[in-house]
Structure 1
Amino acid sequence: MHNLFLLHFYTIIEFAILSMFFRDIIKGKFITGFITCSIFAFTALCIINFVFLQSLDKFNTYTRPIEAIFLIAYSLSYFERESRTDHELSWVNNPVNWMVTGILLYFSGALFQFTFSNVVSVEVSHDIKVLIWNIHATLVLIMYMLFAIGFHKCKN
């Protein structure tokens, strides 16, 4: 069964959940309001995208890169704010650092794949497609491994 249409809805849900995560860990009135507004604006943009621009049977190459850019910016904002505060925990013992690192690595690495998915699916050989998707799978695995380390640190 063709399930590419689910990616359009997954993108909305993923962005909302990860944005709420960042809203909770990045303190500040402005950033909290900005992230909340971005969730609603991004949801509207995604709906406009699949209704008017990119049908549900195409990769959402307009909204996925935008999502990635926002999440990269949130990650960098988190690290910038954390670098200015003193902590009792060392960097490696802070579970959130591991999770944000996973998000930053995954979305930074996958940004160009998100942007060019429709072109790649038509223009390149099967071997190159497999290579690209294997790289993507590796990035996902690394992100999940970093999440697991973060969850393990929460337990301790």
Structure 2
Amino acid sequence: MPSVLKIFGLYLVFSFCTEIITTSMMWAGRNNLIYIHCFTLIEFWVLSLFFKECNKHHPSMLPYYYILIGGTVIILLNSLFVQPLYEFNSYTASMVGWIIILYCIRFLYHTMDLEPSHPLLMIKKLVVWMLVYYAATAVVLAFSNEMLGIPKDWQRGVWLLRSFILLIVRMAIGYILISYIFRNKNVPATS
């Protein structure tokens, strides 16, 4: 399996584990926001490394390590001083989302002329669905703390619509990965 898919798989595992932990704690009536703060940092790092790895296959001059250092400092400062661990980190979650959207757009721009047999074509499909995922959540995350002032039914509707879109995206990503695995089942593993 290519290293880029291993990194993406790592992101999926972290995402799945965080979903289980935060949902379990929510149903138990406990504060789950510390895990969301931690996941924001992990998500930022893993997806930045994912796009850094993707860009090894085409010319790229993006200084990923500077972006990682700057983003990490902002996320930590936000969690310590602006939106503490008992408050939803809408500012940094939005920032990470917008950075991932920019990574996606940049990657799609640089790979728009791929041949149909190019190895990055499957990665390009994943990136398109990631773009949909992060675009669908960007506005909701940016205004999630302000949404507390609207009626509960509207809040639930917004979060339900976001969840429905994310379910479709996750099913599409799952389909892409499963079809890749079955298509390459008999091919020797490479890194």
Q: TM-score range by the shorter chain?
A: 0.7 to 0.9
Greater RCO (CA < 8 Å, at least 6 residues apart): 1
Structure with greater proportional helix content? 1
Q: Which runs of 5+ in 2 are unaligned?
A: 1-29, 184-191
Matched residue count: 151
- State how far apart, in whole Å, the 1-side matches of 2:114 and 2:133 are: 26
Aligned to 1:101: 128
Indicate whether 1:64 and 2:93 are aligned: yes
Q: Which runs of 5+ in 1 are unaligned?
A: none
> Partner letter of residue 157 of structure 2?
L
Contact preservation (8 Å) 1:110, 1:139: no
Indicate whether 1:130 and 2:156 are aligned: yes
Aligned to 2:75: 46
User: For 1:2-151, what aligned pairs fall within 5 Å after superposition?
Assistant: 2-27=31-56, 28-31=59-62, 34-89=63-118, 94-121=121-148, 123-151=149-177
> Which of residues 160, 179, 182 in structure 2 aligns to 1:153?
179
> Partner letter of residue 108 of structure 2?
F
**Deviation string, structure 1 residues 55-110 (Cα, Å, up to 9, x no partner):** 1111112111111111111111111111134342599xx32122111210011111
TM-score, normalization: structure 2? 0.73
